[in-house]
Amino acid sequence: MQKLSLLLSVIILSSLQAIAPAADRVNISHSAVSGSQAILFVTRDAGLFKKYDMELQIVFVAGAPPNIAALVSGDLDLTIFAGPAAIASNLEGANTVVLMTYINTMEHTFIARPNIKKPADLKGKKFGIARPGATDDYGVRVAFKKWGLDADKDITFLSVGTQPSRFAAVQTGMVDATLLQPPFTVKARQEGLIELASLGDLGLDYLGTSLATTRQTIQKKENLVRRFVRAIVEGIHFYKTQKEASIQSISRFTKLTDRAALEEAYNTYAIKYMARVPYPSLKGVEAILDDLAKTNPKAKGADPKRFIEPRFLKELEDSGFVTQLYKK
């Protein structure tokens, strides 16, 4: 009798497992290997996407155009990149929106060859950027304007690509300077390169590393988007309160093992810049629209609220979810 009962239990359990709903698949891309995008991997490694019944397919896609195209086609549900790409594509009818922004400023640092001691020394030099129109391209131009320099006349821009590529380009002398983020800033110092200035000290309003989607995806998969946002907000709490586990995630993501570099990345993003509730900054949207308006008339007079969708974050905050997280 006991054997029969045990057999029935096994059969029932197997049947329940067979009909249990599978986790929802989420296709998401990230666009850079940097500490600013590590939150995706910290959240994944903490098991929080699984907690909310999601299975992530994460791909690396460099550059805004292919990410936008994949979002619009539905091949991607979400992407992590700098906010201007979502705003520019929205202006052209892509209906992209920013759900959250992890860095509402520019935190890049100017890194240069040892013979360059001050910004004025960059005149006539080669500057490595990811590509024209990228965040670092914009940051250089803003900083040069504040320094009384003209980026279009005083330096030569070279498109080099990702942060590791830009770091290597400065090391080898292919370019004289570039912009880097932690943890690569530490590696640069260790190699004897010069830190000229930090964009973070300029107090710029901006949409840096952001999570974007389309309004069509929200309409079709609203519950999935809601759960994803919830997982990330809980992931930010984990990031801020579980230092060692988070540093291990950063290390695996960036393929760096240097403790000083990992510590700098953690302190910069988990502690200094990332808010508990990462609302996109309307002032940041306005700054980007002002820049885009120089070449795109559609940006003039555009309502900044059109480009963001903060309601999922607001739902969590209003529900007391965030408050409860930080009481633990």
Closest CA to 165 of 150, 155, 175, 154: 175
Confidence band, pLDDT 50/70/90 cuts, at residue 8: very low
Residue with tokens 């309502």: 303
What is the CATH class of 109-202?
alpha beta
Pairing outcome for strands 24-30 and 54-60: parallel
Residue with tokens 């001691």: 117
On whether the CB atoms of residues 261 and 187 are closer than 8 A, the answer is yes
- The 8 Å CB, 24+ separation contacts for 306-309 are 306/90, 307/86, 307/87, 307/90, 307/96, 307/97, 307/98, 307/280, 308/97, 308/98, 308/99, 308/280, 308/282, 309/97, 309/98, 309/99, 309/213, 309/215, 309/218
| DSSP code of residue 174 | S
Instruction: Write the pLDDT tens digit of every residue in 120-161.
Output: 999 999 999 988 878 888 889 989 988 999 999 999 999 999
Question: What is the rounded average pLDDT of the residues 251-265?
Answer: 93
Name residues whose C-beta falls within 8 Å of residue 299's C-beta, 6 or more positions apart in sequence. Answer: 87, 91, 289, 290, 292, 293
Q: Average pLDDT of the chain?
A: 91
- Architecture of domain 21-105+206-325 in CATH? 3-Layer(aba) Sandwich (3.40)
Question: What is the rounded average pLDDT of the residues 295-305?
Answer: 95
Q: Coil, strand or helix: which one is 204?
A: coil
Centroid of chain to Cα 66: 16
pLDDT above 70 coverage of the chain, percent: 93
Question: What pTM value is reported for the model?
Answer: 0.84
Instruction: Write the pLDDT tens digit of every residue in 17-66.
Output: 444 457 899 999 999 888 889 999 999 999 999 999 999 999 999 888 89
> Where does the chain hold its CATH 3.40.190.10 domain(s)?
21-105+206-325, 109-202
Count other C-beta atoms under 10 Å from residue 27's C-beta.
16
On whether the CB atoms of residues 28 and 79 are closer than 8 A, the answer is yes
Confidence band, pLDDT 50/70/90 cuts, at residue 215: very high
Phi–psi pair at 206, nearest 5 degrees: -165, 155
Instruction: Write the pLDDT tens digit of every residue in 170-189.
Output: 999 999 999 998 888 998 99
Confidence band, pLDDT 50/70/90 cuts, at residue 13: very low
Supply the pLDDT for residue 33: 87
Query: Is residue 257 pLDDT above 90, yes or no?
Result: yes
On whether the CB atoms of residues 52 and 230 are closer than 8 A, the answer is yes
| DSSP code of residue 75 | S
Please, what sign has the CA dihedral across residues 64, 68, 70, 71? positive
Supply the pLDDT for residue 21: 57
